[in-house]
Amino acid sequence: MLEHIYHIEHAQSPTLVLLHGYGSNMHDLFGLKPYLPPMNILCLQAPKDIGMGGFAWYDINWDNGNKIIDAEEVLSAALRVEESITLWKETHNINGAIICGGFSQGAILSMAMLKGEYEASGFVLMSGYMLPEWRNTDWNISAPVLQTHGTMDHVIPYEWAESGAKLLEHKDFEFKSYPMAHNLNPECIEDVNRFLQQF
Protein backbone atom coordinates (compact mmCIF):
# COMPACT_ATOMS: atom_id res chain seq x y z
CA MET A 1 0.00 0.00 0.00
CA LEU A 2 1.39 3.39 -0.98
CA GLU A 3 1.69 6.04 1.71
CA HIS A 4 -1.45 8.13 1.90
CA ILE A 5 -3.61 10.65 3.70
CA TYR A 6 -7.40 10.49 3.61
CA HIS A 7 -10.75 11.83 4.76
CA ILE A 8 -13.86 9.66 5.00
CA GLU A 9 -17.23 11.38 4.78
CA HIS A 10 -19.21 8.13 4.67
CA ALA A 11 -18.56 4.60 3.44
CA GLN A 12 -21.18 5.04 0.70
CA SER A 13 -19.99 8.50 -0.36
CA PRO A 14 -18.06 8.95 -3.62
CA THR A 15 -14.27 8.91 -3.18
CA LEU A 16 -11.93 11.25 -5.03
CA VAL A 17 -8.46 9.76 -5.45
CA LEU A 18 -5.86 12.50 -6.01
CA LEU A 19 -2.34 11.93 -7.33
CA HIS A 20 0.19 14.72 -6.83
CA GLY A 21 2.71 16.10 -9.30
CA TYR A 22 6.48 15.62 -9.64
CA GLY A 23 8.39 16.82 -6.57
CA SER A 24 5.30 17.15 -4.40
CA ASN A 25 3.72 14.81 -1.85
CA MET A 26 0.42 13.42 -0.55
CA HIS A 27 -0.36 16.57 1.47
CA ASP A 28 -0.39 18.90 -1.53
CA LEU A 29 -3.74 18.15 -3.21
CA PHE A 30 -5.36 17.31 0.14
CA GLY A 31 -5.46 21.08 0.54
CA LEU A 32 -8.25 21.18 -2.07
CA LYS A 33 -10.67 19.51 0.36
CA PRO A 34 -12.41 22.72 1.58
CA TYR A 35 -13.15 23.71 -2.03
CA LEU A 36 -14.75 20.42 -3.08
CA PRO A 37 -18.14 18.81 -2.42
CA PRO A 38 -18.49 16.67 0.74
CA MET A 39 -16.92 13.36 -0.28
CA ASN A 40 -14.22 10.89 0.67
CA ILE A 41 -10.73 11.94 -0.37
CA LEU A 42 -7.70 9.67 -0.74
CA CYS A 43 -4.35 11.30 -1.55
CA LEU A 44 -1.67 8.77 -2.40
CA GLN A 45 2.07 9.48 -2.30
CA ALA A 46 4.41 8.49 -5.08
CA PRO A 47 7.05 5.87 -4.19
CA LYS A 48 10.17 7.60 -5.60
CA ASP A 49 11.77 9.85 -2.97
CA ILE A 50 13.58 12.68 -4.78
CA GLY A 51 14.51 14.60 -1.63
CA MET A 52 13.38 17.80 0.09
CA GLY A 53 10.01 16.19 0.91
CA GLY A 54 9.28 15.59 -2.77
CA PHE A 55 8.28 12.39 -4.54
CA ALA A 56 7.80 11.19 -8.12
CA TRP A 57 5.58 8.54 -9.69
CA TYR A 58 8.09 7.83 -12.44
CA ASP A 59 11.38 9.19 -13.76
CA ILE A 60 11.63 12.13 -16.13
CA ASN A 61 14.79 12.02 -18.25
CA TRP A 62 16.05 15.10 -20.08
CA ASP A 63 17.48 14.75 -23.58
CA ASN A 64 18.27 17.84 -25.68
CA GLY A 65 15.77 19.85 -23.67
CA ASN A 66 12.86 17.47 -24.25
CA LYS A 67 11.08 15.59 -21.51
CA ILE A 68 11.42 11.84 -21.98
CA ILE A 69 8.91 9.67 -20.15
CA ASP A 70 8.91 5.87 -20.23
CA ALA A 71 5.29 4.94 -20.96
CA GLU A 72 5.80 1.45 -19.53
CA GLU A 73 6.99 2.91 -16.23
CA VAL A 74 3.86 5.08 -16.15
CA LEU A 75 1.62 2.05 -16.68
CA SER A 76 3.49 0.16 -13.95
CA ALA A 77 2.96 3.07 -11.54
CA ALA A 78 -0.73 3.12 -12.48
CA LEU A 79 -1.06 -0.53 -11.45
CA ARG A 80 0.43 0.27 -8.03
CA VAL A 81 -2.11 3.06 -7.62
CA GLU A 82 -4.97 0.73 -8.55
CA GLU A 83 -3.77 -1.88 -6.06
CA SER A 84 -3.56 0.74 -3.31
CA ILE A 85 -7.09 1.98 -4.04
CA THR A 86 -8.40 -1.59 -3.75
CA LEU A 87 -6.59 -2.15 -0.44
CA TRP A 88 -7.79 1.16 0.98
CA LYS A 89 -11.40 0.43 -0.01
CA GLU A 90 -11.25 -3.01 1.60
CA THR A 91 -9.65 -1.67 4.79
CA HIS A 92 -12.29 1.02 5.28
CA ASN A 93 -15.29 -0.80 3.75
CA ILE A 94 -15.70 1.88 1.10
CA ASN A 95 -18.29 1.02 -1.54
CA GLY A 96 -19.22 4.31 -3.23
CA ALA A 97 -18.13 5.63 -6.62
CA ILE A 98 -14.42 6.18 -7.28
CA ILE A 99 -13.24 9.26 -9.19
CA CYS A 100 -9.55 9.33 -10.15
CA GLY A 101 -7.63 12.51 -10.69
CA GLY A 102 -4.33 14.26 -10.37
CA PHE A 103 -2.10 17.17 -11.24
CA SER A 104 0.75 17.13 -13.78
CA GLN A 105 2.47 13.73 -13.30
CA GLY A 106 -0.60 12.65 -11.37
CA ALA A 107 -2.84 13.66 -14.28
CA ILE A 108 -0.72 11.66 -16.73
CA LEU A 109 -0.93 8.71 -14.33
CA SER A 110 -4.72 9.09 -14.14
CA MET A 111 -4.80 9.15 -17.93
CA ALA A 112 -2.88 5.86 -17.93
CA MET A 113 -5.61 4.40 -15.71
CA LEU A 114 -8.23 5.75 -18.11
CA LYS A 115 -6.37 4.16 -21.01
CA GLY A 116 -6.24 0.86 -19.14
CA GLU A 117 -10.04 1.08 -18.68
CA TYR A 118 -9.82 1.20 -14.89
CA GLU A 119 -13.39 1.11 -13.64
CA ALA A 120 -13.68 4.57 -12.11
CA SER A 121 -16.88 6.60 -12.28
CA GLY A 122 -15.02 9.68 -13.51
CA PHE A 123 -11.60 11.25 -14.14
CA VAL A 124 -10.17 14.71 -13.40
CA LEU A 125 -7.01 15.46 -15.38
CA MET A 126 -5.36 18.70 -14.24
CA SER A 127 -2.39 20.10 -16.17
CA GLY A 128 -1.35 16.80 -17.74
CA TYR A 129 -1.10 15.53 -21.31
CA MET A 130 -1.34 12.43 -23.45
CA LEU A 131 1.97 10.63 -24.02
CA PRO A 132 2.95 10.22 -27.71
CA GLU A 133 2.79 6.42 -27.36
CA TRP A 134 -0.90 6.65 -26.51
CA ARG A 135 -1.99 8.71 -29.50
CA ASN A 136 -2.39 5.86 -31.96
CA THR A 137 -4.43 3.60 -29.71
CA ASP A 138 -8.17 3.34 -29.29
CA TRP A 139 -9.63 5.00 -26.22
CA ASN A 140 -12.73 3.19 -25.02
CA ILE A 141 -14.13 5.83 -22.65
CA SER A 142 -17.52 5.64 -20.98
CA ALA A 143 -16.95 7.62 -17.77
CA PRO A 144 -17.18 11.43 -17.53
CA VAL A 145 -13.79 13.17 -17.91
CA LEU A 146 -12.77 16.74 -17.07
CA GLN A 147 -9.40 17.92 -18.37
CA THR A 148 -8.05 21.33 -17.34
CA HIS A 149 -4.96 23.25 -18.44
CA GLY A 150 -3.37 26.67 -18.26
CA THR A 151 -2.76 28.55 -21.51
CA MET A 152 0.48 29.94 -20.03
CA ASP A 153 1.85 26.59 -18.81
CA HIS A 154 5.60 26.48 -19.48
CA VAL A 155 6.09 23.05 -17.85
CA ILE A 156 3.60 21.12 -19.97
CA PRO A 157 2.75 23.31 -22.98
CA TYR A 158 -0.92 24.01 -23.57
CA GLU A 159 -0.62 22.70 -27.13
CA TRP A 160 0.43 19.27 -25.84
CA ALA A 161 -2.67 19.03 -23.68
CA GLU A 162 -5.02 20.42 -26.32
CA SER A 163 -3.88 18.06 -29.08
CA GLY A 164 -4.30 15.00 -26.85
CA ALA A 165 -7.65 16.21 -25.60
CA LYS A 166 -9.03 16.03 -29.14
CA LEU A 167 -8.41 12.27 -29.08
CA LEU A 168 -10.36 11.86 -25.83
CA GLU A 169 -13.51 13.64 -26.96
CA HIS A 170 -16.77 11.82 -26.24
CA LYS A 171 -20.18 12.88 -24.97
CA ASP A 172 -19.05 13.20 -21.35
CA PHE A 173 -15.63 14.79 -22.02
CA GLU A 174 -14.88 18.42 -21.22
CA PHE A 175 -11.63 20.31 -21.86
CA LYS A 176 -11.30 23.63 -20.04
CA SER A 177 -8.51 26.19 -20.37
CA TYR A 178 -7.57 29.08 -18.08
CA PRO A 179 -5.17 32.05 -18.15
CA MET A 180 -2.79 30.40 -15.68
CA ALA A 181 0.62 28.73 -15.63
CA HIS A 182 1.40 25.26 -14.22
CA ASN A 183 -0.95 25.60 -11.28
CA LEU A 184 -4.64 25.69 -10.32
CA ASN A 185 -6.46 29.00 -10.23
CA PRO A 186 -9.83 29.63 -8.47
CA GLU A 187 -11.82 29.28 -11.70
CA CYS A 188 -10.24 25.89 -12.40
CA ILE A 189 -10.93 24.66 -8.86
CA GLU A 190 -14.54 25.81 -9.16
CA ASP A 191 -14.93 23.82 -12.40
CA VAL A 192 -13.52 20.73 -10.66
CA ASN A 193 -16.02 21.29 -7.84
CA ARG A 194 -18.87 21.56 -10.34
CA PHE A 195 -17.74 18.39 -12.15
CA LEU A 196 -17.58 16.41 -8.89
CA GLN A 197 -21.09 17.40 -7.83
CA GLN A 198 -22.58 14.94 -10.35
CA PHE A 199 -21.33 11.90 -8.40
Q: Where are the domains of the chain?
A: 4-196
pLDDT at 9: 97
The Cα–Cα gap between 106 and 125 comes to: 8
Rg of the Cα trace of the chain? 16
The Cα–Cα gap between 68 and 53 comes to: 23
pLDDT class for 65, splitting at 50, 70, 90?
low
pLDDT class for 116, splitting at 50, 70, 90?
very high
* Mean of all residue pLDDT scores within the chain: 95
**pLDDT, tens digit, for every residue of 95-107?**
999 999 999 999 9
**pLDDT, tens digit, for every residue of 11-51?**
999 999 999 999 999 999 999 999 999 999 999 999 999 99
pLDDT at 64: 58
The C-alpha angle 61, 133, 129, rounded to 5 degrees, equals 70
Angle between helices 105-115 and 71-92 (to 10 degrees): 80
Range 4-196 has CATH code 3.40.50.1820: yes
Question: Is residue 61 over pLDDT 90?
Answer: no
Question: Is residue 68 over pLDDT 90?
Answer: no
pLDDT class for 140, splitting at 50, 70, 90?
confident
Q: Which residues pair with 125 in a beta bridge?
A: 102, 147
Buried b (16+ CB within 10 A) or exposed e, 175-194: bebbebeebbeeebeebbee
94 compared with 66, residue with greater pLDDT:
94
Question: Is residue 169 over pLDDT 90?
Answer: no
